[in-house]
Amino acid sequence: MCDTCGCGMPSHEHAHEYESDHDGHVIELEMNVLAKNDVYAAANREHLASRGAVAINMISSPGAGKTTLLQQSLNQLKDWRPLAVVEGDLQTDNDARRIQGVGVPVHQINTNNGCHLDAHMVGHAYEHLSLATGSLVFIENVGNLVCPAGFDLGENATVVLLSVTEGDDKPAKYPVAFVNAQVMVITKTDLLPYVDFSMDRCKEFARAVNPDLEIIECSSRTGDGMDGWVAWVKRLANQVAS
């Protein structure tokens, strides 16, 4: 079982440990959980497609800057097409209130001890949000680079954020999150002069596990690189719509 944050859910990493112990019950439980999640994820995809909507799943460690990047992105995109946000956190609605301040519909999911969102939770969030036709939906997952990487939410793309304050070897230490992502956004680049972080090493580690990974550098505080990030979001939405 996943003991990363005590959610009680199986994870791929732990399943390998149990498999080596020939614990068939745990493996069967994991397969059942993921199979049920995949059914809900497929339903979410159908729901999005029926509305011409696009969803982006954002994952990262706690404090990587997801909410700040999201606020700045929403400000630049809110006159472009309908927007909505699903906020995932263990506790509080702090981030949801920050999104409300931008004037974008948001639904908060508190997982209590859960280390990730699942497709069933996200599907209920869509119902609460009553997605408008052509919506662009951002899913801010629970801060964690392990468990969220194993759960399909029915999204159109997954973005993994990595701040320069975390260390440049995160892609090597937590490869699944980077393997499953289409884009890595390296955040807080304005802090590069003050931290021991090699951009070249980070990119090398990331592309070693995912050669096709697109990499965007940005600072939500200064705005550097935001144009490239927003352009990628628009490109994705247009590709899905075409």
Are the beta carbons of 81 and 135 closer than 8 angstroms?
yes
Residue count of the chain, please give it: 242
Residue 197 belongs to some domain of the structure:
yes
Residue 34 pLDDT level (bands cut at 50, 70, 90): confident
Torsion angles phi and psi, residue 241, rounded to 5: -75, -25
Q: The domain containing residue 197 runs over which residues? A: 12-241
**Alpha-carbon gap, residue 90 to 31, rounded angstroms:** 24
pLDDT tens, position by position, 106-140? 999 999 988 999 999 999 999 999 999 999 999 99
Residue 7 belongs to some domain of the structure:
no
Residue 1 belongs to some domain of the structure:
no
pLDDT tens, position by position, 167-201? 999 999 999 999 999 999 999 999 999 999 999 99
Q: DSSP code of 131? A: P
Non-local CB neighbours of 117 within 8 Å, separated by 6+ positions: 86, 88, 109, 111, 139, 141, 142, 148, 151, 153
Residue 6 belongs to some domain of the structure:
no
pLDDT tens, position by position, 64-77? 999 999 999 999 99
What tokens does 196 get?
A: 């021991």
Residue identified by tokens 């036709």 is 133
Residue 22 belongs to some domain of the structure:
yes
Q: Which of 18-22, 33-37, 139-143 comes out lowest in average pLDDT?
A: 18-22
**Alpha-carbon gap, residue 182 to 34, rounded angstroms:** 21
CATH label of the domain that carries residue 44? 3.40.50.300
Question: What predicted TM-score, i.e. pTM, was given to this entire model?
Answer: 0.89
User: How many domains is the chain built from?
Assistant: 1
Residue 2 belongs to some domain of the structure:
no
